[in-house]
Amino acid sequence: MSTEQMNKNGNGVGAEGFEKSALRIEPLTFFEGAACIFGANIGAGILGLAYGARKAGWPVLVFWLLVAGVFTTISMLYVAETTLRTRKPMQLSGLAEKYLGQVGSWLMFASVAVNSLGCLIAYTNGSGRIISSFLGVAPALGSLLFFIPAVLVIWFGLRATGVSEKIITSGMVVMVVILILATVMGPGIQKQFLAYTDWRFAVPVFSLAIFCYISQYLVPELTRGFAAKGGSIKNLPKAIVTGMSITFIFLALVPMAAIGLSGHESVSQVVTIAWGEALGQWAFFVANAFALCAMMTSFWAIGETFLTNIVDRLKFPSEWDVKYRIISIALVVIPPFLFAYTGLISFVGAIYFSGAFAGAIMSVVPVMMLNKARKEGDRNPEWTCGWIAHPLIQGTLIFLFCGAALYAILDALKVLPHGW
């Protein structure tokens, strides 16, 4: 890694050498940035992992979580350096347009849209089921109740999202620790359940793992947050690595407890439902409260990112123009609700296919953007990727993620075995 002198020259500078743009620069602390990453990652993915990995087994899941986590972090750091080489604050689609042209921009926007919609469909579906089980209302009404605080925080912007993420993720950590301790000290974890392994179903689990590290779309948001007055731009790579490391630990622990308690044949699509029922009524409420918080924090982070990508790609004059903000939020929240209640896609299916498609784009485009930004960037970065940008590592990243996407296509065509 290396540090270079930042470029503070130029007209129309917004903060820390960045120009003003349609996207507002709002300050984030290191912990808020790391919490945004953790909160974005710990959403639908963690709730569907145990079910999605039930045929492959927990050891296979942990292996792919590690591989996907390392290479997704590398991809995020590529995007981080690209943003630091670009004076005008942009979202991913804007960066792709600057360095790769219209085709690259639309591919990146499609990746953001597909993965975001996959997330939001899963959150809509899952939240409706959980609130329905809590209150005895119809799942669609449960989803509407979930949408009220979800949309409010997104409306108030990046700063509100960062503070809300920090508060809710702290509570999520406490709830998960309580549930895992209750599992280990109560009924206990059966070693034979955790030892079960079948590598024939391994590759689809990789696509689920890719989906779980969804926060690569947040990197331009975090750059703006750390560049704002009162922030520190050098916290950007530290927050990325910290948030992703904590994510890996929790993504491994929750399926471990659920599968180790009940066995791979007894997990539910939303893991907290069967897990909580196995531990008792109190645990049912705690587990599903955790699930709602997980979906909420991820909804905030992904919704905020999707909104600013819409503003950037559709060339809206400002993300804070009321008319355009209403249009953007409508595009974020209405399609997921419609898809969730047409029965076209399942909870885990939304995770799997969106992860595979978007993962392929997010492996190729950041590599191309970084290499182009190093030649044509208009700002001196405070931090660079160093050895992790070696061509061999870039090639491995593309091979793994595009391979997972190819498997998903062959899976959909029933050529290769389905993961669950």
Give residue-wise pLDDT tens across range 266-275.
777 777 777 8
List, as own/partner pairs, every contact residues 321-326 make where C-beta atoms lie below 8 angstroms and the sequence separation is at least 24, other chains included.
325/155
| CA atoms of 93 and 85, how far apart (whole Å) | 16
Confidence of residue 376 (pLDDT cuts 50, 70, 90): very high
- The pLDDT of residue 44 is 64
- The pLDDT of residue 419 is 57
| CA atoms of 153 and 21, how far apart (whole Å) | 22
228 alpha carbon, distance to own chain's centre? 23
Phi, psi for 15 (deg, rounded to 5): -170, 140
Residue 16 included in any domain? no
Mean pLDDT on 189-215: 84
Residue 319 included in any domain? yes
| CA atoms of 152 and 128, how far apart (whole Å) | 18
Domain tally for the chain? Answer: 1
Q: Which residue has the higher pLDDT, 412 or 137?
A: 137
Confidence of residue 29 (pLDDT cuts 50, 70, 90): confident
Residue 5 included in any domain? no
Residues paired with 2 in a beta bridge: 384
Q: Which residue has the higher pLDDT, 6 or 270?
A: 270
Mean pLDDT on 19-33: 74
Residue 210 included in any domain? yes
Tokens of 184: 């280990």
* Percent residues over pLDDT 90 in the chain: 20
Reading phi first (left if > 0) and then psi (alpha if -120 to 50, else beta), residue 136 is in: left
Tokens of 378: 């208009």
pLDDT tens per residue, range 204-255: 788 778 878 877 888 988 888 887 755 688 889 999 999 999 999 999 998 9
- The pLDDT of residue 35 is 85
Confidence of residue 17 (pLDDT cuts 50, 70, 90): low
Residue 400 has pLDDT above 60, yes or no: yes
Residue 12 included in any domain? no
- The pLDDT of residue 100 is 92
Tokens of 93: 């689609």
- The pLDDT of residue 18 is 67
- The pLDDT of residue 388 is 95
Residue 18 included in any domain? no
Residue with tokens 């498997």: 407
The domain in which residue 102 lies consists of 25-412
Reading phi first (left if > 0) and then psi (alpha if -120 to 50, else beta), residue 21 is in: beta
Mean pLDDT on 176-192: 88
Average pLDDT in the chain: 82
Residue 7 included in any domain? no
Residue 4 has pLDDT above 50, yes or no: no
Which stretch of 44-53, 103-112, 183-192, 323-332 has the lowest confidence by average pLDDT?
44-53
- The pLDDT of residue 3 is 36
Reading phi first (left if > 0) and then psi (alpha if -120 to 50, else beta), residue 3 is in: beta
Q: Which residue has the higher pLDDT, 43 or 333?
A: 333
Q: Which residue has the higher pLDDT, 119 or 87?
A: 87
Residue 350 has pLDDT above 90, yes or no: no
Residue 274 included in any domain? yes
241: domain CATH number?
1.20.1740.10
Q: Which residue has the higher pLDDT, 211 or 326?
A: 326
